[in-house]
Amino acid sequence: MKTAVIHEWLVNYAGSERVLEQIFHIFPDADLYCQVDFLKEDKRWFIMNKKVKTSFIQKLPKAETKYRSYLPLMPFAVERFHLSEYDLIISNSHSVAKGVRNNSKQLHICYCHTPMRYAWDLRDQYLKETGLDSGFKGAVVKFILDRIRKWDFETAQKVDYFIANSNYIKDRIKRAYGRDATVIYPPVDVDSFKVSDKKDDYFLAVSRMVPYKKMDMIVEAFSGLGLPLVVIGDGPDLEKVKSRAKKNIKFLGYQEGNVLAEYMQKAKAFVFAAEEDFGIVPVEAQACGTPVIAYGKGGVTESVVPFGEVRSRGVLQYARTEGPPTGVFFYEQTSSALIDAVKRFISIEDKFDPFEIRKNAERFGIDRFRKEFKDFTDRKISEFFG
């Protein structure tokens, strides 16, 4: 069976790329298409050093650093991929990848990380954060996003089967596209992280410094608490985040995986304030036996077992509430709500067992993903082609 895999863009190794890596372990002979490919030669191992077929955006000015600016052109670009020779199309999509053209004789399965954020749930937030919620430029951008949203909905109807990376995203797919989806959680390399029951006296936050991650809020909260916080990560908001920090907060910038794992192992707790589609890093922290203090919305409610009375809250629709606790939730993205959650955690921190926390993380391992994804695709291939 000739297979094509469609990915958004190749510029680094992040959450969606981990899924892509495992898809190629299942379909090693598949061809790879994406909008742009700017991976360095020493970073191509996770795509098995495949030759990538890119769109015309690859050759546009400053595409290597400004590829996101070409979002209005991406629907047109992805539709220009010629895929008629393939039997199976797998799109690994959080933006436009699922919009590839296919015909009635081709099976198209989409692993959906989220319906396109800028066109749906985060549209107003994006416009506000970029200062485009008013004026002439704002009107133009709103018009473009409305057109992209219409295209996004229409192309979703041409996908044969959706896989969602969490129940949270399954609901968003239903709301946005009117389509059902099967949940297969992303692969987390839990075996690369070792559990530790010896914790040091600091909290840990790890993230790219962009607005929706709320790193400035975390720093503000811990500046108020006066408790030691280690911050790992960089990004465009780094200086803004640093400006809110007091001396109890230590910034380490970007760190390689082995350093990150060591800090995760020794942290008193991992702090996470974003509303994520799934959230791989909180699972990695749990693989180290480290409890998580998290904003109780999004995919993290499916990977963290909340402590005590918060288990009954209606917002935890898909939360796993049975078994030993692995973290504490807060329900407003404010520094005061986080401060209360940290204080609550400190009062009950002896209730968390590092080895039980590790067991919870093991639910999301790589072998589990490969089996579930292969079983699903094999079943749909058999049904579709007989």
C-alpha distance from residue 269 to each of 86, 321, 346 (Å): 47, 19, 10
130: domain CATH number is: 3.40.50
Q: Looking at the structure, do residues 179 and 131 belong to the same domain, yes or no?
A: yes
Q: Looking at the structure, do residues 378 and 337 belong to the same domain, yes or no?
A: no
**Per-residue pLDDT tens listing for the chain (386 residues):** 899 999 999 998 888 999 999 999 999 999 999 999 999 998 999 999 999 999 999 999 999 988 888 888 999 999 999 999 999 999 999 989 999 999 999 999 999 999 987 777 666 666 665 565 667 776 777 788 888 889 999 999 999 999 999 999 999 999 999 999 999 999 999 999 999 999 999 999 999 888 889 999 999 999 999 999 999 999 888 999 999 999 999 999 999 888 999 999 999 999 999 999 999 999 999 999 999 999 998 899 999 999 875 544 444 556 666 679 999 999 999 999 999 999 999 999 999 999 999 999 999 999 999 999 999 999 999 999 98
Rounded to 10 degrees, the C-alpha dihedral 53/59/64/65 comes to -140
Q: Looking at the structure, do residues 22 and 71 belong to the same domain, yes or no?
A: yes
**Residue (of 179, 174, 166, 1) closest to 90 by Cα position:** 1
SS3 92: strand
Q: Looking at the structure, do residues 239 and 268 belong to the same domain, yes or no?
A: yes
Q: Looking at the structure, do residues 75 and 119 belong to the same domain, yes or no?
A: yes
| Domain limits for position 353 | 190-363
Q: Looking at the structure, do residues 15 and 118 belong to the same domain, yes or no?
A: yes
Number of domains in the chain: 2
Q: Looking at the structure, do residues 75 and 223 belong to the same domain, yes or no?
A: no
Q: Looking at the structure, do residues 357 and 372 belong to the same domain, yes or no?
A: no
Q: Looking at the structure, do residues 204 and 272 belong to the same domain, yes or no?
A: yes
Q: Looking at the structure, do residues 279 and 379 belong to the same domain, yes or no?
A: no
197 phi and psi angles, rounded to 5 deg:
-100, 5
Q: Residue 209's CB: how many other CB atoms inside 10 A?
A: 20
Q: Looking at the structure, do residues 90 and 205 belong to the same domain, yes or no?
A: no
Identify whether the C-beta of residue 237 lies closer than 8 Å to the C-beta of residue 211.
yes
SS3 253: strand
User: Helices (DSSP H) in 178-306: which residue ranges?
Assistant: 215-225, 238-242, 257-266, 280-287
> For residue 16, with 0-12 CB atoms within 10 Å meaning exposed, 13-18 middle and 19 or more buried, which class applies?
buried
pLDDT at 116: 86
Identify whether the C-beta of residue 31 lies closer than 8 Å to the C-beta of residue 16.
no
pTM: 0.90
Q: Looking at the structure, do residues 155 and 250 belong to the same domain, yes or no?
A: no
306: domain CATH number is: 3.40.50.2000
Rounded to 10 degrees, the C-alpha dihedral 85/27/54/173 comes to 90
pLDDT at 130: 56
Which residues are within 8 A (CB) of 259 and not within 5 positions of it... i.e. 6 or more apart?
A: 232, 252
Amino acid at 57: I
Q: What angle do CA 119, 9, 187 make, to 5 degrees?
A: 90
Token pair belonging to 104: 């009635």
pLDDT at 311: 47
Identify whether the C-beta of residue 29 lies closer than 8 Å to the C-beta of residue 5.
no
Identify whether the C-beta of residue 383 lies closer than 8 Å to the C-beta of residue 302.
no
pLDDT at 15: 85
